[in-house]
Structure 1
Amino acid sequence: MTLHVSPESLPALVLNADYRPLSYYPLSLWSWQDAIKAVCLERVNIVSEYDRVVKSPSFEMQLPSVVSLKSYVKPTGNPAFTRFNVFLRDHFECQYCHSRDDLTFDHLIPRSRGGRTTWENVVTACSPCNLRKANKMPKDINMWPTQMPYRPSTYDLQANGRKFPPNHLHESWMDYLYWDIELEP
């Protein structure tokens, strides 16, 4: 029986050579086609497979559910300064009221007062808080972020990303996603 597999289904979790995901949020996933291509090019090892097979006239293969890179990819030391990474650093919540709706970012020292758009001066804020703070200094309006802005490491962002699991987690992935989390007694 040949199964018709859509490109959006049955992705493969991609692990580094040390068996840790390349990234947690977004989770490092490849389409089944990319996973098969990497296997054929001998760039990855198959760690786990789905119970599904793809076939062609000259080829048959179980779809990989977890693959590991054969060569270790060193994580970047300094994550890019992007809106998404600021939100991830700040746990996708307003640093003033903890809302998770209508997020934007706020300059702690407003740009109109010489503040720069840097890791150390930008926090996640909801639109109402951002409008309320406007171009005022935190001390002038007594409006302080829960967490002062800082430059996160790749490790910081990965640790935060583990707190936001994707909607679809295949059972074969579980041992590789959360193995380095401290266990409760």
Structure 2
Amino acid sequence: MSIAVHPDAHPTLVLNADYRPLSYYPLSLWSWQDAIKAVFLDRVNIVSEYTHEVRSPSFRMRLPSVVSLKTYIRPARFPAFTRFNVFLRDRFECQYCGSLDDLTFDHLIPRSRGGMTTWDNVITACSPCNLRKGNKSCRAADMFPRHEPFRPTVQDLHNNGRLFPPNYLHESWLDFLYWDTELEP
């Protein structure tokens, strides 16, 4: 589940049992209510907490800012073929001109010429480039993608997702979001 990320909502970063986020983009977040429910159902460990707390007449608890699942969820090796995942693979930019606006996707070999809707035949394109290329091959249109399309792994998409951080990152999340990023010498 994903929620709107606003500091006043006290969202909880959800980590797998190996302390890696379940997802980077969208970031794996739960509402504080769902996080507390998971704590009481003994499905998660609290890793870090906010200073804010919830209270009842007989109980008080600081809100979890980071939790880890008690049971490891094996991530899929390859992501589903979706428009969003194609855009994420291509870093939300037109593979012909680099534009970030008015994105759609283009078949390198047009469907009318037998092209399939697959990872290695579909790229992100802006509408003007897509219209310019039209029903032609890349060679006939003299338009070639900046990067050859490929079937990404979940890790490829996670790496790209890190390039688009959410509008809010609580300080307690930072070590868990970037701990496996290669350090510069």
Superposition deviation, residue 184 in structure 1 = 1.4
Task: Using structure 2 for the length normalisation, give the TM-score.
Answer: 0.94
User: CA contact under 8 A between 2:7 and 2:168: conserved in structure 1?
Assistant: no
Superposition deviation, residue 56 in structure 1 = 2.2
Superposition deviation, residue 7 in structure 1 = 10
Number of the residue aligned with 1:57? 57
* Separation of aligned partners in 2, 1:13 and 1:145: 36
* Identical pairs, percent: 74
* Separation of aligned partners in 1, 2:127 and 2:44: 44
1:147-170, Cα deviation, whole Å (9 max, x unpaired):
111110111111111111101000
SS of equivalent residue, structure 2 residue 128? helix
Superposition deviation, residue 59 in structure 1 = 2.7
* Separation of aligned partners in 1, 2:78 and 2:165: 23
1:84-103, Cα deviation, whole Å (9 max, x unpaired):
00000000000000000000
Number of the residue aligned with 1:173? 173
* Separation of aligned partners in 2, 1:177 and 1:90: 21
* Separation of aligned partners in 1, 2:98 and 2:168: 26
> Where does structure 1 lack aligned partners over 5 or more consecutive residues?
1-5
Number of the residue aligned with 1:27? 27
Residues 158-169 of structure 1 mapped to structure 2, 5 A cutoff: 158-169=158-169
Superposition deviation, residue 57 in structure 1 = 3.0
Count of residue pairs brought into register by the alignment? 180
Residue 39 of structure 1 aligns with an amino acid whose one-letter code is V
Instruction: Let me know the Cα RMSD of the aligned residues.
Output: 1.4
* Separation of aligned partners in 2, 1:17 and 1:164: 24
* Separation of aligned partners in 1, 2:96 and 2:56: 56
SS of equivalent residue, structure 1 residue 176? helix
SS of equivalent residue, structure 1 residue 152? coil
User: CA contact under 8 A between 1:8 and 1:31: conserved in structure 2?
Assistant: no
Number of the residue aligned with 1:89? 89
1:63-89, Cα deviation, whole Å (9 max, x unpaired):
000000001100011211111000000
1:41-76, Cα deviation, whole Å (9 max, x unpaired):
000000000000011233321000000000110001
1:14-46, Cα deviation, whole Å (9 max, x unpaired):
000110000000000000001000000000000
SS of equivalent residue, structure 1 residue 130? helix
SS of equivalent residue, structure 1 residue 35? helix
1:86-145, Cα deviation, whole Å (9 max, x unpaired):
000000000000000000000000011011111111000000000000010001122111
* Separation of aligned partners in 1, 2:57 and 2:121: 59
* Separation of aligned partners in 2, 1:184 and 1:7: 30
Task: Using structure 1 for the length normalisation, give the TM-score.
Answer: 0.94
User: CA contact under 8 A between 2:90 and 2:123: conserved in structure 1?
Assistant: yes
SS of equivalent residue, structure 1 residue 79? coil
Number of the residue aligned with 2:3? none
SS of equivalent residue, structure 2 residue 71? coil
Number of the residue aligned with 2:113? 113
